[in-house]
Amino acid sequence: MDPVLEKKDEALVQPESAAPPAPQKPKKKKKKKIISWVILAVVLGGIAFGMYQLLAPKEEEGQVITDMVQYGSITSTVQGSGITKPKNSETITLTTSGTVADVYVTEGQQVTAGTPLFTIDSEAAREAVEKARKDANGYQKQLDALYKDIAGLNLTPAYGGKLLDVVKLNAGDTISKDQVVAKLVDDSTLRLKQYYSYAYADSIKVGQSANVSVPALMSSGITGTVDAVHMVERISAEGSKLFEVEVTLKNPGTLTADMEASAVITVGGETVYPYESAKLEYNRSTDLKSTVNGTVISSSLLNYMEVTPGQVLVKIDGEDSENEIFSLEQSLATAQKDLETAQKNLANCSAVAPIDGTVIGLAIAPGDEVAANTTVISIADTTTVLIDATVDERNISYVQQGMMVDLDQWGTPFTGMVESVSLSSKVENGVASYPMVISVDNTDGSLMTGSNVTYSLIASENDNCLLLPIQAVKSVPMEDGTTGSVVFVKADSRPENAIDLTVPVEEVPEGFYAIPVETGISDNYHVEIISGVEEGTEVFTTVQKENSWY
């Protein structure tokens, strides 16, 4: 062997005592294992994606469905169901307890207004009437008295005369009920009481003239009249028996009370003198009193002032009295209502039919104890039957009172009529509907009340009009904030009457333009086009999509 090669081989041989290097072979195996797993995962992921692409549903772009504006006929109907009920019915409910004495009718019996129905013995009903009447009468008396008092807010004299002993009143002063503010005297006539001997008892009569003298005026020529004769027995100091005579005389304007005067009467040519003179009195004298508590607004009271009947002398603010009147009026109204209820309930204890009709509910029998607030009988006039129905906002303008309506109850047809249509709508789920009442002539009684019926009426119809499917007409917001109807017309270029929408409509493809239209009546499938597009115009309806599996 070549010495050089031998040395090289020896150099390649490592001594046994040297540390061996880190093993390289195992590292290469681990790295290869990781790479293999990664490759496997990628392959499996690719297979899974491929399978998904193969098996998963794939959405098509969809087929654009269009339709043509064309002439045709359309009928708009209103359909629905409702519960029949009698047009007129009455129930009798007792609000007090009692014992049923007699029942004169049976359920299903035809009755006329005034037919006796039943009698009930109810002591509670009688007591309720008596109590309610007593309460109502009590409030009425209080109110009448207060009305009379409140009239005193303007204090006025009942008759003409003169004021004396006036109380000074200023605005703002407090005044009390029954407070005397002045004395009113009637001094236009004066009264003189004289005593005469019983010797003339049969000679002096009412209506005779008397000559009255007043020393203070040095006058003896005032004529008076015998106004009253009282056969009293006054004994004079001399032992004479005297009777009383009242003489009245007109005041010439110079007389007043407390003046000494005497009246001489001529009887059968003989002059009869009184036992003694007396003092003149006012014909009438009254204390003017306030009839309310309150505050003085104004006063015109003056001593010796001549007044006339009804003249306002004192004005009073009686707010408390007015409040009291209001409260009493409310109480009286409640009491009167309670009395009416009690009287009605007592009358119901011997009830008669309030209307012509059929007894459709009878809840009592002789001997039953009836509790308060029990409905004992119901009577219904079923000659006319009503059905409550609704009309949606699209057709309400076409439904009129008097229209005929087709009805069906358990397969039996009937004919009704629109009795009324309300102008007030009820909105549910964004759709407005209007109440409608249908009436049916049920004289023969064949239509049952309280049962379900279906109804149908032709709201409107047109035999020659432009039509489109309902889906073709879209409701969209307009620029002015309102909602309008549009169709999307297919065209090569933008039509002159096309509009731009503030909110785009989904799925409308390119080449279709929004055209505003005026719509008319509609049925379940089509809508009438009044204006906006012409016959033969192609419009967008919808996009039909199908899912396919590959």
Per-residue pLDDT for the chain (550 aa), expressed as one digit of tens each? Answer: 444 334 434 443 344 444 444 444 444 445 555 555 545 655 565 565 555 555 555 545 679 999 999 999 999 888 888 899 999 999 998 888 899 999 999 998 999 999 999 999 999 889 999 999 999 999 999 888 877 767 668 889 999 999 999 999 999 999 888 999 999 999 999 999 999 999 999 999 999 999 999 998 887 779 999 999 999 999 999 999 999 999 999 998 899 999 999 999 999 889 999 999 999 999 999 999 988 888 899 999 999 999 999 899 999 886 666 777 888 889 999 999 999 988 988 888 898 999 999 998 899 999 999 998 899 999 999 899 999 988 888 778 888 899 999 999 999 999 999 999 998 888 887 788 899 999 999 998 899 888 999 999 988 889 999 999 999 999 999 988 889 999 999 999 999 999 999 899 988 999 999 999 999 988 889 999 999 999 999 999 999 876 544 3
Identify the three-state secondary structure at position 123: helix
b/e code 141-175 from CB counts within 10 Å (16+ = b)? eebeebeebbebbebebeeebbbbebeebeeeeeb
Quote the pTM value. 0.46
Query: Whole-angstrom Cα distance, residue 124 to residue 342?
Result: 10
Helix (H) or strand (E) holding 103: strand 98-103
CB atoms within 10 A of CB 83: 12
Q: Is residue 433 part of a domain?
A: no
How far are the Cα atoms of 83, 93, 399, 433, 536 from residue 388, in angstroms, in the given order?
Answer: 7, 26, 15, 12, 42
Q: Is residue 111 part of a domain?
A: no
- Look up residue 56 and give its two tokens: 């998963």
Query: Whole-angstrom Cα distance, residue 138 to residue 8?
Result: 147
Q: Phi and psi at residue 268, in whole multiples of 5°?
A: 55, 40
Could you give the residue ranges of the DSSP H alpha helices within 243-318? none
Q: Is residue 80 part of a domain?
A: no
Nearest to 447 by CA among 378, 402, 386, 356: 386
The CA-based angle 509-513-516, given to 5 degrees, is 130
- Domain boundary among the residues 289, 319, 349 is at 289
Q: Is residue 458 part of a domain?
A: no
Q: Is residue 193 part of a domain?
A: yes
Asked if 518 and 530 touch (Cβ cutoff 8 Å), the reply is yes
* Structural domain harbouring 55: 28-59
Give me the CATH number covering residue 527. Answer: 2.40.420.20
The torsion defined by the Cα of 269, 270, 274 and 279, in degrees rounded to 10, comes to 30
Asked if 501 and 535 touch (Cβ cutoff 8 Å), the reply is no
Q: Is residue 216 part of a domain?
A: yes
Asked if 440 and 54 touch (Cβ cutoff 8 Å), the reply is no
- Domain boundary among the residues 240, 262, 289 is at 289
The overall longest dimension of the chain from CA atoms, in Å, is 215
Q: What is the DSSP letter of 532?
A: S
Q: What is the DSSP letter of 397?
A: G
431-441/374-392 β-pairing: antiparallel
The CA-based angle 229-231-237, given to 5 degrees, is 110
Q: Is residue 86 part of a domain?
A: no
Asked if 366 and 343 touch (Cβ cutoff 8 Å), the reply is no
Q: What are the pLDDT digits (tens) for 256-271? A: 999 999 999 999 889 9
Give me the CATH number covering residue 246. Answer: 2.40.30.170
Query: Whole-angstrom Cα distance, residue 533 to residue 44?
Result: 59
- 225 bridge partner residues: 209, 248
SS (H, E, C) 351-384: EECCCCEEEEEECCCCCCEECCCEEEEEEEEEEE
- Domain boundary among the residues 289, 312, 328 is at 289
How far are the Cα atoms of 222, 232, 242, 275, 298 from residue 239, in angstroms, in the given order?
Answer: 31, 15, 9, 12, 58
Q: Is residue 374 part of a domain?
A: no
Counting the structural domains of the chain, the total is 3
Mean of all residue pLDDT scores within the chain? 86
Q: Who contacts 261 (Cβ-Cβ below 8 Å, separation ≥6)? A: 192, 212, 213, 214, 215, 277, 278, 279, 280
